[in-house]
Amino acid sequence: MAQIWHLAARPDGNLTTGIFALSAQPDPALDESMVRVENHWLSVDPYMRGMLDENGSYMPALPVGSPVHGGAIGRVVESRAVALPVGTMVLHNQGWRDLSTLAATDCTALPQDGAPIRRHLGHLGMPGKTAYFGLLVAAEAREGDIVFISSAGGAVGTAALQIAKIKNMTVIASCGGAEKCAALKALGADAVIDYKSPGDISGKLRQAAPDGISVYFDNVGGDHFEAAIDSARVGARFALCGMVSGYGERMRLCIDDPMRLVMKRLRLRGFAAPDFNDRHAEFYGDMLRWTLSGELKSPETVHEGLEAVPTAFVSLFSGGNLGKMLVRLAPAGPGDAA
């Protein structure tokens, strides 16, 4: 019997754990070319917020009553697929449960690459790919750029910050709270902005980047976006990937004096990690090298046990994590060591 988190109700205004319900389901028979996976690590990510609403977002809306899904890493415990024998560690997208039954083609066997295996849900996985291609391709950031990163304390932000520093850029990182600010400084940020401290973001950014910014990596939209336009130099490039602050509320993004988009010759580009799937090797090669050399640190916030999944997920939106937010289900195996 698999224990699976289901969507019990749509979020109504504030997001609460009460919209999720855990229930057991009989394990389906294992058809030809399918595997059963015992999950060790579950991922919760901001993008998942979108599928909870009626309109959907990155993905179609999840019907109420459906099992929730998301990134997961586990061990094949039963297999009718030659390519994935029992014992193989795999990455898949049928998380929010302890046991997943799925087609072998929906699993990716994970390499023993010397990095902790859970990193494939973080800086070696989707969030890392979002940071890498968002910064280097969508924003075309290069050595010498002055980069503003919003929500820089998350999985994507901590990667973007460090990639920018490895590439000799100047980084202004925004996050909430003195503790996170200190952590981002330790990761190499040249300046940090605490959005929870008194004062508006525009003023703080002007102070942190008196010469303006040439790149904005947007994870939140809202007032950070407005501040970035305000401080943008001529020709600045904006990579837009999240607009977390807009999830749920279908908020409006209002730009005062939009002629500034023209006058400053701004370039804005929306993107998502899967857009760059054909360039996976490039990303993985760089990020693994930097991980193994210690240049790229991967802070993590780990919750324990399947029951903790909704709590971990909901706290993403109140800044409850530094770095990648994970839920650990099984005792660490050999590949799980830090």
| Residues near a second copy, by CB under 8 A | 50, 57-58, 221, 240-243, 246-247, 250-259, 261-272, 275
How many angstroms separate the CA atoms of 43 and 38, rounded? 14
Nearer residue to a second copy within complex by CB, 29 or 250:
250
Look at the alpha carbons of 86, 92, 95, 101 in this order and tell me if their dihedral is positive or negative. negative
Minimum Å gap between C-beta 57 and a second copy is 6
206 three-state secondary structure: helix
R_g over Cα of the chain: 20
CA distance 151 to 327: 21
Q: How far is the CB of 271 from a second copy (least distance, A)?
A: 6
Residue type, 255: I
Q: Provide, rounded to whole angstroms, the least separation between the CB of residue 16 and a second copy.
A: 21
Is the C-alpha dihedral spanning 194, 198, 202, 207 positive or negative?
A: negative
Selection from 313, 253, 314, 290 nearest residue 96 by Cα = 313
Nearer to a second copy, 145 or 226 (CB): 226
Minimum CB distance to a second copy, residue 323 (Å): 22
- Based on CB atoms, which residue is closest to a second copy, 116 or 154? 154
Closer residue to a second copy, CB minimum distance, 29 or 262: 262
Give the whole-angstrom CA distance, residue 242 versus residue 244. Answer: 5
**Residue with smaller CB distance to a second copy, 22 or 268:** 268
CA 151 – CA 156 distance, rounded (Å): 8
- Nearest to a second copy of 53, 336 (CB atom): 53
In angstroms, give the least distance from the CB of 88 to a second copy. 34
Closest approach of a second copy to the CB of residue 144, in Å? 21
Residue 97: closest CA among 11, 25, 148, 161: 25
